[in-house]
């Protein structure tokens, strides 16, 4: 999911919509739309309804299983749920990047009394999530249509605090560069309450990999890195929990997470402290964040 840099523009200027339906190679296109930020395609294929950013259906941003809408389709979404092993009862949750609303919907089901803030700059993505992916806000869920970093800065001014923050902001290429930097992560860190947990969805293979690792380490210290297609980075503000604590929380959460397709026997072996990037790796900053150059296979 993606949150761009531009905010505060009138929604009336954002969209040019096509609602044509088409079938091509067993792919049924339900919706095409060109917003100010991206091309959006919604399509169905092999029992999945998916959202893609771009002119094709190859770069999937969000998918839901039509027969099991509560099941998390993507590995990265299931890995994000490992954040609950670090803090099993979050009551204040922030998610940057909406996509089809998969993660907010999952947390609403898990924690119906939690206050959830979801931030997405593109009003078109919010509309598509509601119309085509069944995203409905619970009474204590708020959706903000603005730049994710602008939102974080605003929450800093109001001393906003969260138990869990999920970074899931993507476009058709990668995370926006202003949301990769040490300065941004320090801003996010300031919003974490006691024992607050951060879960960040990143790529598992690119020339940015070591730079991202060094940048997260510079802000948080040791982190868990879970890898299945994507990498999910997990941090806890007061330090990473012991293996015994993680296993206890996993056992307690297993009945709640099972309907989402999350199995502790699959998830627990991935939770390891990540190390090993070169000591001289350059940290990403607001002055140095060339994601367009570094986000390529090594």
48 membership: H or E segment, kind and range: strand 48-53
Q: Is the Cβ–Cβ distance between 1 and 120 less than 8 Å?
A: yes
Catalytic residue of the set 168, 194, 238, 263: 168
Mark whether 238 is an active-site residue. Answer: no
**135, 141, 145, 147: CA torsion to nearest 10:** -120
**Edge-to-edge order in the sheet of strand 141-144:** 141-144, 115-119, 92-96, 162-167, 192-203, 230-236, 224-228
Q: For residue 185, give every residue at least 6 positions away whose Cβ sits within 8 Å of its Cβ, in sequence order, or none.
A: 215, 216, 219, 220
Q: End-to-end CA distance of the chain: give it in Å, rounded.
A: 23
Three-class SS state of 251: helix
Task: For residues 250 and 268, give the distance between their C-alpha atoms in angstroms, rounded to a whole number.
Answer: 8
Distances (CA, A) of 198 to 93, 167, 207, 224: 10, 8, 23, 11
The dihedral through the CA atoms of 183, 185, 188, 189 has a sign that is: negative
Positions marked active-site: 168
């Amino acid at each position: 999911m993606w949150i761009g840099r531009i905010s505060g523009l009138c929604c009336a200027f954002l969209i040019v919509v096509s609602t044509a339906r088409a079938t091509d190679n067993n792919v049924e296109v339900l919706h095409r739309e060109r917003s100010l930020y991206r091309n959006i395609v919604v399509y169905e294929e092999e029992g999945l309804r998916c959202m893609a950013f771009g002119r094709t259906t190859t770069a999937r941003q969000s998918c839901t299983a039509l027969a099991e809408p509560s099941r998390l389709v993507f590995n990265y979404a299931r890995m994000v749920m490992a954040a609950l092993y670090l803090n099993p009862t979050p009551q204040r949750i922030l998610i940057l990047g909406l996509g089809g609303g998969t993660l907010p919907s999952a947390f609403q089901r898990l924690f119906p009394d939690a206050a959830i803030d979801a931030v997405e700059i593109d009003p078109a993505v919010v509309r598509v999530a509601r119309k085509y992916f069944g995203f409905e806000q619970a009474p204590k869920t708020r959706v903000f249509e603005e730049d994710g970093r602008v939102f974080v800065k605003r929450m800093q001014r109001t001393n906003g605090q969260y138990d869990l923050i999920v970074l899931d902001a993507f476009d058709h290429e990668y995370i926006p560069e202003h949301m990769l930097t040490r300065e941004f992560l320090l801003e996010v860190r300031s919003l974490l309450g006691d024992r607050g947990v951060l879960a960040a969805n990143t790529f598992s293979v690119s020339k940015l990999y070591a730079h991202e690792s060094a940048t997260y380490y510079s802000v948080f210290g040791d982190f868990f890195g879970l890898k299945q297609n994507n990498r999910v980075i997990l941090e806890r503000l007061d330090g990473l929990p012991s293996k015994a604590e993680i296993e206890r929380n996993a056992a307690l959460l297993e009945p709640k997470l099972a309907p989402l397709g999350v199995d502790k026997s699959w998830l627990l072996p991935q939770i390891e402290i990540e190390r090993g990037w070169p000591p001289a790796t350059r940290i990403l900053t607001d002055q140095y964040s060339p994601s367009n150059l570094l986000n390529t296979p090594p």
